[in-house]
Amino acid sequence: MASAASARSRIAAMVTIPLFALVAMWVFAAVPGFHTWTALRDAGTVRELVVEPGERLAVELRREHVLSAEYLAVRSRRGRAVLAGQRERTDRARAELRDAVSSAEARAALNPETTAEVEDLMRKVEQTDALRASIDRGAQTPVTLAKEFALVPEAVRAVASGVAPASDPLLHRDAHGAIAMARAADRLDGQRALAAGVLAEGRAMTAAELREFAALSVTREALLKQGLAELTPELRVPFLALIESAEYAKFAQLEKRLLAGDRSARRDGDRVSHARWRTVADRAASAFAEAIQKTADTINERAAAAVTDARARAWGVGTLGLAAVVGVAILAGWMGRRFTGELTRLRAVGATLDDAKESARAAVAGQTRLQETAERAIGDLARRSQSLLQRQLRMLHAVRRDTSDVEAVPRLLDLDHLTIRMRRHAERLIILSGGSSGRSWRRPVPIGDALRAAVAGVEDYRRVRVYPMADVLVLGTVVADVAHVLAELIENATTFSPPNTEVSIRGTCTDSGFVIEIEDRGEGLSQERLAQINRRLARPARFDLSDTRHLGLAVVGKLAVKHGLRVKLSHSPFGGTMAVVHLPRKIAILPEVGEEDDQTEELVGVARRLPEEPEESGGPTAAAQ
């Protein structure tokens, strides 16, 4: 009879593997949530410590721009004194930004991309002194002045765009709409300063000044349209009111006259005066700033709520997963102690043979219950992870559709592929614990789509080549499991073959169904090993939780028996291994010869044209993801 110590060792070995699997699934489920929370939190910190003081500096610089343009025009002592006072206010705002950016809290919240944008902002902020020196020397024109004073506000917008909350597509779009509106306001301020300088000098615009004024006007209107298109109806209200206001109408009227060279004036008194332009343009700029501030306040409130919600969800998922791990560990420990205690008592009293048999049966039943309990726990946690990964896939697809950053697309695609693989590993555990993948379709799906789904779930998918094959359909209720079987076999082929070789996939119609051949160029397997694997595929036993090396083959065998597939491994003529999967006619719809040709072709065409209708999630496209 086995000693208590050896019994404990066997039980520990049996329990350790599922516990490790539970911990891994918990980490996979919790990490994305915590990443989203920290990203939103850091974005809020950057908005508070960089973007907001940067906006205050931009406001002061726009005022300094107007006064600088007017000073260059008249160079009066009073104008110099007013400009000096404004420069002091600008310097205070600049010092506030420097202090905020250099704080440890701000530096900790910056990622590499945002760090580069903030450093660019601060370089342009420090160029203000050189710009002022050139103004004092009279080395600036209204056109060059407009371009120089626009650098800092535009750099602030770049930082704001970099910290827009990408995890919430609606909030992300509103943030970009608000940034477009802020850029439109910058163009209006540029027009205000350029025209103020020219009119203060009492002359008409030169050709270069008129071109710059017109370019600012056209860009402003384009940004207004962009911002209105991106903002939600609630956030459009202040800007629609602005556009329809009397102040904006007066500004547009004076702008039109200046763009026409003020040729509509018949007497000197009808020309646009400096005082009139300043009054109208200042009011329009103030109304614009007020609308932008209202929108920014609303977006900041929603971003703060998103941070709170992400934190709650991250801690909720983490706590639930930890509770599952602890619960299974306690249950396993309790059952192990109970089992070893029974064995110890049996050994101490010298039980009869019948008693020993009864105890052995009880021990087997205890082990079975333990395995069933562990399987249920693993299956439950895997389903939760599957659901979270499905949500993460939808979020990634939404971000990929909405993003305008070309450099981010490859990283999003890699993250999308990694999530698909994680989902397949979660479905492995669901299937091995006796459940189903939960994904199916009402209509038949082309075999090509099922193969793309299988290839998409493989790490080294770029080595896989799918050769042309017949228009065969797979029943929608089994397509997810068929794709999973193919993915496991393709994964084995890429894993056990040289990285510079191709894994080939071909399909052939037969009288009894459809045959798929997956062939690699690896070193191959011995005849004894092939026979052993084929026996396990044909008659899969209950999966041993301690055997994690053959998870994929265990899943293939279980699904093959479930759906009547025939899977067999053999030697490849090229020296590697060939996996042959036979799909019977009950799940594969083949094109027939004769009168049924048109009907089958029509069924294939309809299945490809109609919108996908998944039972649980995604369509055939989603299955391929």
Q: What are the tens digits of pLDDT across the range 573-598?
A: 888 899 999 999 999 988 764 434 44
Q: What are the tens digits of pLDDT across the range 174-200?
A: 888 888 988 999 999 999 999 999 999
Nearest-5° angle of CA 334, CA 340, CA 342?
Answer: 100
Distances from the Cα of 403 to the Cα of 161, 164, 172, 179, 545, angstroms: 11, 11, 10, 15, 43
Q: For the chain, count helices (H), then strands (E).
A: 21, 8
Q: Does residue 57 surpass a pLDDT of 60?
A: yes
Given this model, what pLDDT does residue 10 score? 61
pLDDT, greater one: 376 or 44: 44
DSSP per-residue string spanning 295-355 = HHHHHHHHHHHHHHHHHHHHHHHHHHHHHHHHHHHHHHHHHHHHHHHHHHHHHHHT--HHH
Classify strands 588-589 and 473-474 as parallel, antiparallel or unpaired. Answer: antiparallel
HSE, CB side, 13 Å, CA atoms: give it for residue 17.
Answer: 16
Phi then psi for residue 101, to 5 deg, are -65, -35
> Could you identify the residue written with the tokens 């994904």?
439
First to last CA, the chain: 53
Pair of tokens at residue 510: 């037969």
Question: Amino acid identity, residue 40?
Answer: L
Give the single-character DSSP code of 611. P
Which residues are 505's β-sheet partners?
A: 466, 518
Q: What are the tens digits of pLDDT across the range 396-424?
A: 667 667 676 666 666 666 666 667 666 66
- pTM of the full structure: 0.48
User: How much of the chain, in percent, has pLDDT values that exceed 90?
Assistant: 31
Start-end of H helices in 542-618: 551-563, 597-609
Question: Amino acid identity, residue 8?
Answer: R
Beta-carbon contacts of 227 under 8 Å, excluding residues fewer than 6 positions away, are 177, 178, 180, 181, 184, 239
Q: Which has the minimum average pLDDT: 44-58, 217-231, 467-481?
A: 44-58
Q: Does residue 322 surpass a pLDDT of 70?
A: no
Q: How high is the mean pLDDT of the chain?
A: 77
Q: What are the tens digits of pLDDT across the range 60-74?
A: 999 999 999 999 998
Q: What are the tens digits of pLDDT across the range 348-392?
A: 585 554 555 665 576 556 555 655 555 555 555 555 555 565 666
Phi then psi for residue 615, to 5 deg, are -70, -40
Given this model, what pLDDT does residue 421 score? 65
Classify strands 503-510 and 566-571 as parallel, antiparallel or unpaired. Answer: unpaired
Classify strands 513-519 and 503-510 as parallel, antiparallel or unpaired. Answer: antiparallel
Mean pLDDT, residues 163-171 taken together? 69
